[in-house]
Amino acid sequence: MSAVGVEMKAEEETKVEEKGGELLFCGATCWDIVGRKKGAQEGNLVSPTRLRPLVGVDIRFVASGSSSCHCVALDVEGRCYTWGRNEARA
């Protein structure tokens, strides 16, 4: 076996399944996507809380802007989830 073949075999044997984690959210949450259908009557989340639509989803990456106005999460399979303010209801 060539040196390249040995190196490729070693890489295959050491591949580890990438796992994601659970997403916890806090802050302003009067947006439908986070499962808070009643609107602003429900207060903001002051402690980390599971978002119902993302329970059981292995999250790999999260990006959030100032005040969490716009958030993006990617799962381990590359699916993208977004939420945030949508005052225009577009």
Q: Does residue 29 lie in a domain region?
A: yes
* CA atoms of 90 and 85, how far apart (whole Å): 10
Q: Is residue 77 part of a domain?
A: yes
Residue with the bigger pLDDT between 5 and 58: it is 58
Spatial distance between the Cα atoms of 26 and 29, rounded to a whole number of angstroms: 8
Structural domains of the chain, count: 1
Q: Is the residue at 63 inside a domain?
A: yes
Residue-wise pLDDT tens digits, 22-50: 888 877 655 555 555 555 555 677 788 88
Single pTM value for the model: 0.58
Residue 13 forms part of a structural domain: no
Q: Has residue 10 been placed in a domain?
A: no
In a domain, 37, yes or no: yes
Flag whether pLDDT at 80 surpasses 90.
yes
In whole angstroms, give the CA distance from residue 18 to residue 60: 9
CB 60 within 8 A of CB 74: yes
On whether residue 73 sits in a domain, the answer given is: yes
Q: How crowded is residue 36: how many other Cβ atoms within 10 Å of its Cβ? A: 20
- Among 17, 42, 20, 13, smallest CA distance to 30 is for 42
Domain ranges, residue 75:
18-84
